[in-house]
Amino acid sequence: DAGITQSPRHKVTETGTPVTLRCHQTENHRYMYWYRQDPGHGLRLIHYSYGVKDTDKGEVSDGYSVSRSKTEDFLLTLESATSSQTSVYFCAISESGTTGRYGYTFGSGTRLTVV
Amino acid sequence: GENVEQHPSTLSVQEGDSAVIKCTYSDSASNYFPWYKQELGKRPQLIIDIRSNVGEKKDQRIAVTLNKTAKHFSLHITETQPEDSAVYFCAASFTGTASKLTFGTGTRLQVTL
């Protein structure tokens, strides 16, 4: 497939609980990203990583944290889930110019519902 | 930061007609402009992209044009087919900063028979 997998695919959680989403890649790409997709907002960047243990915030980072301890794994944690974090979360990877290519490859997404 | 606006939000065309989706960006440093297609319940997939040193790029029935001066870029789909029905997203980034893409809000294209 695309060399990038997300887990879980679906999750329902209660308000106030912590939630961790996982993104795993087999492409050895340096850059990894977490986006959320909401109707009327398109895809908005939450956090991104430019290497192991190197991460930075995107435009909608409040309430989220990330970790990248290995090249292949990028974890997104909702520290205390709120209903406003109900969304579809997409992970993406990019070579970002290593081979002249800058486009993203997206994972299949995680549909998260906070009740 | 970068801001990308996309129009229209919905577009309905008859099979065989052309479709045009337009985007504007705010950051003059942006130099990479991809377009993604997302079918219902699926992941976004890259369909075509353009760098700022090129004004137009074609791939079969799809083409993208870029006007750097006006900060506009557009997606053109000719001879539309039912399988072109999807949501299309434009995006922009500066390739020197981890290529963080800023996306438009999407255009839902419906191709009717």
Per-residue pLDDT of A51-104, as tens digits, reads 999 999 999 999 999 999 999 999 999 999 999 999 999 999 998 765 667 789
Could you read off the pLDDT of B46-105 as tens digits, one per residue?
999 999 888 999 999 999 999 999 999 999 999 999 999 999 999 999 877 677 899 999
Is A2 a residue whose pLDDT tops 70?
no
Q: Test A43 with B103 for CB contact under 8 angstroms.
A: yes
CA-based nearest residue in chain A for residue B34: A103
The C-alpha angle A75, A78, A84, rounded to 5 degrees, equals: 135
Give chain A's count of helices (H) and strands (E). 0, 11
Is B1 a residue whose pLDDT tops 60?
yes
Minimal Cα–Cα distance from B112 to chain A, Å? Answer: 23
Q: A16: Cβ–Cβ under 8 A, 6 or more apart, which residues?
A: A80, A81
Mean pLDDT (chain A) is 94
**Three-class secondary structure of residue B108 per DSSP:** strand
Minimal Cα–Cα distance from B103 to chain A, Å? Answer: 6
A and B: number of Cβ contacts within 8 A: 60
- Are A89 and A81 in contact, with CB atoms under 8 Å apart? no
- Are B43 and A90 in contact, with CB atoms under 8 Å apart? yes
Minimal Cα–Cα distance from A49 to chain B, Å? Answer: 8
A25 contacts in chain B (CB < 8 Å): none
A26-30, A49-53, A110-114: range with highest mean pLDDT: A110-114
Q: Test A102 with B49 for CB contact under 8 angstroms.
A: yes
Between CA A108 and CA B76 the distance in angstroms is 26
**Three-class secondary structure of residue A99 per DSSP:** coil
Q: What is the DSSP letter of B68?
A: T
For residue A1, what pLDDT is reported? Answer: 55
Minimal Cα–Cα distance from B92 to chain A, Å? Answer: 11
Q: Test B99 with A94 for CB contact under 8 angstroms.
A: yes
Q: Test B43 with A90 for CB contact under 8 angstroms.
A: yes
Q: How confident is the model at residue B25 (pLDDT cuts 50, 70, 90)?
A: very high
B43 contacts in chain A (CB < 8 Å): 2, 90, 106-109
